Amino acid sequence: MIVSSALIIWKGLMCITGSESPVVVVLSESMEPGFQRGDILFLQMSKDPIRTGEIVVFNIQGRDIPIVHRVIEVHEQRQSGEVRILTKGDNNDVDDRMLYAQGQFWLKQEHIMGRAVGFLPYVGWATIIMTEKPIIKYILIGALGLLVITSKD
């Protein structure tokens, strides 16, 4: 029951927000002091073009963790409507060109997974702990499984 309702909520959020991954956990300190490690961000993706100042989550080819940074430059081409985006973490001194794939100088709209629209502090620590110390994840799943089996309800 719990598992299915959690799944329904997750999929529902995916539909409402239009993003593949509607909730992300902040993993690095590159957006401090605004976003600390362990906070969670609610994402939304609409067809509106990305503009400067928006906090976006994107994936770089060859890296599996999504990056949450702010857009500092936008160049929108007249003919194609394509946007070229440059990002930078608030707490970093330099922009993200170093992080992009080899030969890539700009991000495009399709690289962006979503815009951050909402924020909850500290809730993401559970995910960080479970990722960094997988044994806790196994213990938790084991305990939950035991509870489900032995529950008389």
Q: Two tokens at 45?
A: 């993706």
- Per the residue annotation, which of 19, 30, 39, 111 is the catalytic one? 30
Shortest approach of another protein to residue 62 CB, angstroms?
26
Could you tell me whether strands 112-120 and 55-58 are parallel, antiparallel, or unpaired per DSSP bridges? antiparallel
Is 30 marked active-site?
A: yes
Check residue 14 for interaction with another protein (CB under 8 A).
no
How far is residue 109's CA from residue 41's CA, in Å, rounded to a whole number?
A: 19
Tell me the window of 15-23, 67-75, 124-132, 134-142 that interacts with another protein (CB under 8 A): 67-75
Looking at residue 96, the DSSP 8-state letter turns out to be: G
Greatest pairwise CA separation for the chain in angstroms? 65
Residue tagged 């035991």 (tokens):
146
Rg (CA), the chain: 18
Q: Does 37 bind another protein (CB under 8 A)?
A: no
Closer to another protein at the Cβ: 34 or 134? 34
| 77 contacts another protein (rule: CB under 8 A) | yes
Give contact residues for another protein (rule: CB under 8 A). 33-35, 51-55, 70, 72-78, 81, 84, 88, 90, 95, 116-121, 147
